[in-house]
Amino acid sequence: MPQSLSKLYIHLVFSTKNRDRILSAEDGPDLHAYMGGTLNGLKCIPVEINTEPDHAHLLFLLSRTVALSDVVGAVKKSATEWLRARGPVYRGFHWQSGYGAFSVSESNRDSVRDYIRNQREHQRTRTFQEEYRALLEKYRIDYDERYVWD
């Protein structure tokens, strides 16, 4: 086959360092746009991006020419720099070192998109840690609780 084609939706989840509840709702739209711009720069197509005070969810199409770990690194680094430039409240800002990345089928894309859009509702009934553990279990990912959080 002479042409390389792919369509890989990724649901990326990561939290602030120590799950500090520092991300403000008013900074959210600009932060989401900035993260989307970073994804576009990597030839990844953003589908949905949302943040809560202590974590981020991104749904995007992974470019066939870039490694997922490089995308995660670039998004976290650029968002950190952008946040730190916003003022003193973010001066010492850090994301957690790890992340969760989950494949999403075309048939489930819209339900994941809605899930990300409605994070505020989900957070009323469960913590980020509970939500993240549920994702790990749903995707049958073995993990050691001692190394999930930082």
Burial class of residue 51 in the structure, from the number of CB atoms within 10 Å of its CB (0-12 exposed, 13-18 middle, 19+ buried): buried
Least confident of 5-14, 95-104, 141-150: 141-150
pLDDT tens, position by position, 8-37: 999 999 999 999 999 999 999 999 999 999
Residues 6+ apart with CB under 8 A from 76: 14, 95, 99
Residue 59's pLDDT band (cuts 50, 70, 90): very high
Domains of the chain: 8-147 (3.30.70.1290)
pLDDT tens, position by position, 70-84: 999 999 999 999 999
87 HSE (CA, 13 A, CB side): 5
**Which amino acid, 116?**
I
